[in-house]
Amino acid sequence: MLGLNKKDTSLLLIVVVLTLFAPFILNPFPEGSAMAQFNAGYPDLMQRFVIFGIFAIGFNILFGLTGYLSFGHAAFLGIGSYGAVWMFKILGMNVLPAIVLAVIVAGLFAVVIGYVSLRRSGIYFSILTLAFAQMMFALAYSVLTPITGGETGLQLTLNDPRILGASQTAGGNIPVPSLFGMEMRSSTDLEIAGWVFTFNVGYYFSALIMILAFYLSIRIFRSPFGMMLRAIKSNQNRLSYTGLNPRPYTLAAFVISGMYAGLAGGLMASMDPLAGAERMQWTASGEVVLMTILGGTGTLIGPVLGAGFIKYFENIFSKINDNILHQWFAFLPDGLEDFVVFIIHPFIGKGWHLTLGILFMLVVIFLPGGLVEGGQRIRKAIKGKKADDTETAKTEPAE
């Protein structure tokens, strides 16, 4: 199916099902219940899941296949955002041209940065990419203020020309990003009993692009090009001795990865037409590294799982406060309730990073292959149990 083997087709179908039915899967608890705090089925967060999933998928093509660890990939995320917003300001509010420009501009910058950075390998390559990203952050934050908006960011205004669209709506407001008339912020709610499921145009548009990006990554992984990248990761010196020059392959992987990041940045601007220099900071680059390692470096679905995991903690656990904890443990005696809240307090709210750090350490120590390895172990355990049950059923009873 679609040029994929059975295993990859099954993996693609799993991703399709998870993304299309995300409004149901991410809202397991009814509205108004104490556990509704853990629901994540609202448009903004679902959009972040798929957009950062695209970012992580692209990063995994570079890091997972070639072993080159970039600490500056957020630069392409920011470049894509700036390119998309400028397209909104000049051409029109249709998201397709904006996303195309975001990918192209990010790809061009990736060619230049990759050409210089890939002259070195290992930690030297990582430091070079970090230096480029911080340099571009500084330029966007201060020097290139007329182009980037500086510390306030690049925003849409009522004075933007918009050659193929209106500068302002009939009500005098700034137009919103849309796809041939369908606004990205448009949502429809479905109420079933105590549950409320939200279906958002922007989310499904981003989800469709993520599915296409995931399919493309599978084809890259299974192609001769992907095999060459694995050979570079395995032993680049030995590959050079065969007469093959690895640099064109690593540069191609770097550019493809940068274009994925630009695509993610363009989608972020399409959901919220604002671009700021903070998207280029080193913390954003470190975040995608964590996503990839947490999910499973070099695996296909791992980066998507890692992106969802981190964004879930960032948006759900960070909102839990002492009042919510007191509601959960109200059944305990007052003294014991206060003690339990005191113990849990450092791990929620602003302390969500501490919880994520502990979980990340546990994954690295006990699941070096990331969340994907955890899933594989569970599947093997289930298969092993079924096999044992089958053997027991086949055994004849003693007379």
Q: What tens digit of pLDDT does each residue of 214-269 get?
A: 999 999 999 999 999 999 998 888 888 888 889 999 999 999 999 999 999 999 99
User: What's the CA gap between 31 and 28, in Å, rounded?
Assistant: 10
269 bridge partner residues: none
Q: What is the pLDDT of residue 316?
A: 82
Q: Backbone dihedral region of 343: left (phi > 0), alpha (psi from -120 to 50 degrees) or beta?
A: alpha
Cβ neighbour number for residue 247 with a 10 Å cutoff: 15
Q: What is the pLDDT of residue 399?
A: 38
User: What's the CA gap between 218 and 202, in Å, rounded?
Assistant: 24
Spell out the domain ranges in the chain: 44-281
Amino acid identity, position 237: N
Q: What is the pLDDT of residue 395?
A: 45
CA torsion, points 276, 81, 129, 45, in degrees to nearest 10?
A: 80
Ordered alpha helix ranges (H), 329-369: 334-344, 352-366
pLDDT of residue 165 exceeding 70: yes
pLDDT of residue 392 exceeding 70: no
DSSP code of 150? G
Q: What is the pLDDT of residue 389?
A: 59
Average pLDDT over residues 12-16: 93
User: What's the CA gap between 283 and 124, in Å, rounded?
Assistant: 19
pLDDT of residue 391 exceeding 60: no
Question: For 294-315, what is each residue's pLDDT tens digit?
Answer: 999 989 999 999 999 999 888 8
Q: Which residue has the tokens 């500086």?
A: 150
DSSP code of 167? S
What band does 104 get if pLDDT is binned at 50, 70 and 90?
very high
75 exposure class (CB count in 10 Å sphere: 0-12, 13-18, 19+): buried
Q: Backbone dihedral region of 168: left (phi > 0), alpha (psi from -120 to 50 degrees) or beta?
A: beta
155 bridge partner residues: 274
User: What's the CA gap between 77 and 159, in Å, rounded?
Assistant: 26
